[in-house]
């Protein structure tokens, strides 16, 4: 199978290790009152990263060969950020448990600068249908919230197929970075990817993201048509086409906050809002 590169980076050959016990020299250190955490060794990581998720809590991602004895002090130093991230995710989880999110009354597509009002109507259709009208979007035949959300996702896919391919073609021509074909998908964890055959797969959820970030995703993936990796050569090429790539890359890591709950396809037996909450993880690169 051809390899792929994309945003966010695909996690390969990762290893999740045991939880911490705050040991220093084999003995508990009373000065290190850190949060519980898991350690994940990554062949792709170049530096330590902290990630707080609904499922795993605090995850410390380290490069291969990293001295894990340094982690308790690092986690202790980032205690304020960890506490804030944990509180925000827990508060959101409780909010969803108490009051599940309602279907939208309007949809903001930041990427293309459009906002559409949404109305719902009962009907006898075999499944819910969402269609664009002069006044906005009308969802008909929606006996359940989940079916209405699915209809809105299908409408989003149609909008993405109309808006994103011409945009990528334009950026490709402007930058002199040709690609073979584009596919519009609804990836659960990636904004886009590029295969060895120069096929660029783009997430339809990019419609909810600011235009500057969408263009950066396009540039990033087009650079993969030349360098199918994240080597120094790749980042040098990205910098040539987008000098402000570091700031945009940081902003992109938090861009899932722009994606509404109904736009996330749930896994088997999972509610939309639960998957949406899992996407809203907190990340930090310790200094």
The domains located in the chain, with CATH, are 9-98 (no CATH), 106-270 (3.30.2010.10)
Least-confidence region, from 136-150, 240-254, 264-278? 264-278
Q: What is the pLDDT of residue 118?
A: 95
How far, in Å, are 3, 76, 87, 98, 158 from residue 79 at the CA level? 38, 5, 12, 28, 44
Q: What is the pLDDT of residue 6?
A: 60
Q: What is the pTM of this model?
A: 0.71
What is the spatial distance between Cα 99 and Cα 92, in angstroms, rounded to a whole number? 10
**Residue 182 banded pLDDT, cuts 50, 70, 90:** very high
Per the CB < 8 A criterion, the answer to whether 60 and 41 are in contact is no
Give per-residue burial for 74-91: e unless 16+ CB within 10 Å, then b. Answer: ebbebeeebeebeeebee
**Percent with pLDDT over 70 in the chain:** 77
What is the spatial distance between Cα 280 and Cα 58, in angstroms, rounded to a whole number? 14
Rg value, the chain, Cα: 21
């Amino acid at each position: 199978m051809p390899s792929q590169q994309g945003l966010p980076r695909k996690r390969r050959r990762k290893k999740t290790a045991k939880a911490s016990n705050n040991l220093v020299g084999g003995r508990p250190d009373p000065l290190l009152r850190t949060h519980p955490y898991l350690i994940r060794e990554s062949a792709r990581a170049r530096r330590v990263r902290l990630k707080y998720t609904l499922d795993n809590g605090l995850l410390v991602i380290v490069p291969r060969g990293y001295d894990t004895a340094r982690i308790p002090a690092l986690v202790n130093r980032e205690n304020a950020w960890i506490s804030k991230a944990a509180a925000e995710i827990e508060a959101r989880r409780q909010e969803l448990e108490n009051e599940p999110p309602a279907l939208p009354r309007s949809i903001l597509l930041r990427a293309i600068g459009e906002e559409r009002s949404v109305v719902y109507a009962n009907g006898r259709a075999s499944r819910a249908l969402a269609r664009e009208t002069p006044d906005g979007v009308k969802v008909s035949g929606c006996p359940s919230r989940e079916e209405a959300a699915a209809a809105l996702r299908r409408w989003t896919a149609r909008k993405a197929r109309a808006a994103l391919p011409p945009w990528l073609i334009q950026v490709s021509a402007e930058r002199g970075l040709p690609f073979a074909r584009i596919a519009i998908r609804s990836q659960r964890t990636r904004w886009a990817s590029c295969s060895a055959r120069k096929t660029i797969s783009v997430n339809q959820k990019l419609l909810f993201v600011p235009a500057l970030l969408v263009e950066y995703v396009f540039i990033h993936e087009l650079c993969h048509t030349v360098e199918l990796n994240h080597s120094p050569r790749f980042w040098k090429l990205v910098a040539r086409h987008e000098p402000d790539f570091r700031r945009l890359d940081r902003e992109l890591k938090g861009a899932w906050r722009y994606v509404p709950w109904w736009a996330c396809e749930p896994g088997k037996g999972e509610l939309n809002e639960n998957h949406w909450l899992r996407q809203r993880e907190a990340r930090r690169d310790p200094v």
